[in-house]
Amino acid sequence: MERIERIREFGGWLDRYRHDSDSCHCSMTFSVYLPPRAESAPVPAVYFLSGLTCTDDNVRVKAGAQRYAADLGLALVMPDTSPRGDGVADAPERYDLGQGAGFYVNATRQPWAAHYRMYDYVNQELPALVERELPLIPGRRSITGHSMGGHGALISALRNPGLYRSVSAFAPICNPVECGWGRGCLGAYLGDDTASWKEWDATELIRAGAQPIPLLIDQGVDDEFLRDGQLRPETLSRACEEHDFPLTLRMHPGYDHSYHFIATFIGEHLAYHARALAKA
C-alpha cells in the first residue's frame, strides 16, 4: 500500500493510504490514526465505517475521534464506503446507490458484482493488509459506524463471531429489509430474492440466532431519518428483547443525524471499545 498523506495530530500520526484491492478490483483509499503509544508498543484498532455519500475524510475531519484515540491508545482504521473510479458501476442520479453507497454487502447482481464487495473488503482484506503492513496494529479489533456504516458494523460483528471484541453504532440502519434505503440498495446489489437480503440485516440476524455480543447504539431523537422510518431501532430493540440479546440503546433528545451528534458521543464509544480491547 502507498502512503499518500501524513498529518501530525495529538502526538500521533494520521496517515492516508491507497492500494489495489483484490476484493473490489479497483484502487481503494483508507485512513489510519496511530496514537502516540504506537511509537513504542502495539495498539488495538477500532474500525469506523462511514455512512451514505461519505469517504474516510468525513470521520477523520468531523468526529473529533483522534483526540480520544490518542488518550486511550487506540488506532483508528477508517475505510471508504464503496469502490470508486473509472469503470466502477455507479448511479450518478442517486445518492443512495453506487459510489458512496456500497452498503457493506457483497453484491451478486450485475453491474455491481464486479466491484461492490465491501463486506469482504472490510472484514477480510483490509484487516489483513493493515496488520501485515503496520505491525504495531497486531489484530485486536473492534468496530463501529454511522448510519449505513452503523449497519455495516452491526452485520460485520454479528456474522463474524470472535472477529471483533466489541461493536457499537451511531444511528444505524437497523432493519434494511424494511426501509426504503435498504430495499433500494439490497434489491439492486442482490437481486429480487428478498429472503437472501436477511443475511445483511442486523435485526434479521438476531432473529435467526446470531451469537450474542453486546450492542451499544446511540440514536438522536430529532434525527430526520429516524422520523421517516429509515433507521428502525425500535425493531432491532424488539428483536433483542425477544431473543435475550444484549443491547444498550440510548435515545438522545435534540440530536440529529449529523457529525455534531457523532462528535458528542464518540469519546464514550471509544472508551467502551478500549475497555473491551483491554480484556485478555
* Nearest Cα to Cα of residue 96 among 61, 46, 148: 148
- pLDDT of residue 127 exceeding 90, the answer is yes
> Residue 98 sits in which domain range?
2-278
CATH number, domain of 146, equals: 3.40.50.1820
Known catalytic membership, residue 223: yes
Domain total for the chain? 1
Strand ranges, E, within the chain: 2-9, 12-21, 26-34, 45-49, 75-79, 141-145, 167-170, 215-220, 247-252
pLDDT tens figures, 183-241: 999 999 999 999 999 999 999 999 999 999 999 999 999 999 999 999 999 999 999 99
Q: Which of 50, 151, 223, 269 is catalytic?
A: 223
pLDDT reported for residue 221? 98
Known catalytic membership, residue 222: no
Q: Please, which residues bridge with residue 14 across strands?
A: 7, 33
pLDDT reported for residue 131? 96
Q: Which of 142, 147, 166, 168 is catalytic?
A: 147
Instruction: Dig out the grid coordinates for 12 from the structure.
Output: 500521533
pLDDT tens figures, 136-166: 999 899 999 999 999 999 999 999 999 999 9
**Edge-to-edge, what's the strand order for the sheet holding 45-49?**
2-9, 12-21, 26-34, 75-79, 45-49, 141-145, 167-170, 215-220, 247-252
Which three-class secondary structure state does DSSP give residue 23?
coil
Q: Which of 115, 146, 257, 269 is catalytic?
A: 257
pLDDT tens figures, 167-188: 999 999 999 999 999 999 999 9
pLDDT tens figures, 79-94: 999 999 999 999 999 9
Known catalytic membership, residue 15: no
- pLDDT of residue 280 exceeding 90, the answer is no
**Cis (ω within 30 of 0) for the bond into 253?**
no
DSSP sequence for 189-240: HH-S-HHHHGGG-HHHHHHTTPPP--EEEEEETT-HHHHTTSS-HHHHHHHH
Report if pTM > 0.95.
yes
Residue type, 198: K
Kindly report the average pLDDT of the chain as a whole number: 97
HSE-up (13 A, CA, CB side) for residue 245: 24
Average pLDDT of the segment spanning 107-119: 97
Q: How far is CA 236 from CA 50, 83, 171, in A?
A: 20, 29, 12
